[in-house]
Amino acid sequence: MTCSDADLRAVFARTKVIAVVGFSPNPARPSHYVAQFLQQLGYRVIPVNPGHAGEIHLGERVRANLAQIPEPVDMVDIFRQSDAVPGVVAEALANLPGLSTIWMQLGVEHAGAAAEAEARGITVIQNRCPKIEYPRLFG
């Protein structure tokens, strides 16, 4: 499915909590500065990276995986290679009952995982970046 600008605006409007899978504590890495950008817009960002689990970054405790997040999550933003997407999507579907959006970053796509999430009523965005789309849509 292709997301229109109206679809993207709706995603940004309904989203409050974003889990960033593949978060890096290195400020030079895209997963870090995109997470920081989203946080500065007012979204709660929960970093997910098993190598840094338990650390505090951007004021939030890093989780090892999505199953460790006890609160509702609206969006999962995936900063992983495309071949890792099915596992991330399966974990999200199994552990995040309020999930409404799966967002795959630039260069990240997986048709099968996207179809599985869409079949469950979840909006899927592939090969796009919220740090690019938000300013484009909202100036």
Radius of gyration of the chain (CA): 14
The model's confidence at residue 139, banded by pLDDT at 50, 70 and 90, is confident
Q: Tell me, what's the pLDDT at 72?
A: 97
Contacts of 9 (CB under 8 A, 6+ apart): 137, 138
The model's confidence at residue 55, banded by pLDDT at 50, 70 and 90, is very high
User: What's the CA gap between 76 and 27, in Å, rounded?
Assistant: 20
CATH top-level class of 5-138:
alpha beta
Beta-bridge partners for 38: none
Taking the complete model, does pTM exceed 0.95, yes or no? yes
Beta-bridge partners for 104: 78
